[in-house]
Amino acid sequence: MGRRGPYICGIDAGMDVVAGKWKSLILWELNNYGTRRFGELRRGLPGVSEKMLVQQLREMEEDGLVHREIYREVPPRVEYSLTPDGTSLNEALGALGTWGQQRVERLAAEGILVEVSPTA
């Protein structure tokens, strides 16, 4: 979970909550689909391990970014979605996404960037 302070500034506090290899991606994924099941999320995030996905989701839940809805069925179904806080955080990351996108395009044009995994 976030360390809950002390923070040096707002960016510090914001970064604290998005840190973690998959959190910004989970935010993005949940925002795109509205609601996703655990397995869908897993397939949408190439390279996550189960453990990491559970862990990051739990932390984001503690931080009030993600809502977890459990359906007591067989087989079990659990659906994840963004809370209002999660949604606003995702919006706050929009500008960073645009910046990153432009950077990727520029680096690709210069042949510096590896767009696709070399082994793929």
Contacts with its own copies, 48-87, as mask; x by CB under 8 A: -------------------------------------x--
Q: Does 4 bind DNA (CB under 7 A)?
A: no
Contacts with DNA, 18-37, as mask; x by CB under 7 A: --xx---------------x
- The entry of its own copies, DNA, none near residue 77 (CB within 5 to 8 angstroms by kind) is DNA
Q: Does 104 bind its own copies (CB under 8 A)?
A: yes
Least CB distance from residue 68 to its own copies, whole Å?
A: 20
Contact (Cβ atoms closer than 8 angstroms) between residue 68 and residue 61: yes
Task: Identify which of 46, 48, 32, 47 has the alpha carbon closest to the alpha carbon of residue 80.
Answer: 32
- The entry of DNA, its own copies, none near residue 84 (CB within 5 to 8 angstroms by kind) is none
Residues that bind its own copies (CB under 8 A): 4-19, 24-25, 27-28, 45-46, 85, 88-89, 91-104, 107, 112-117
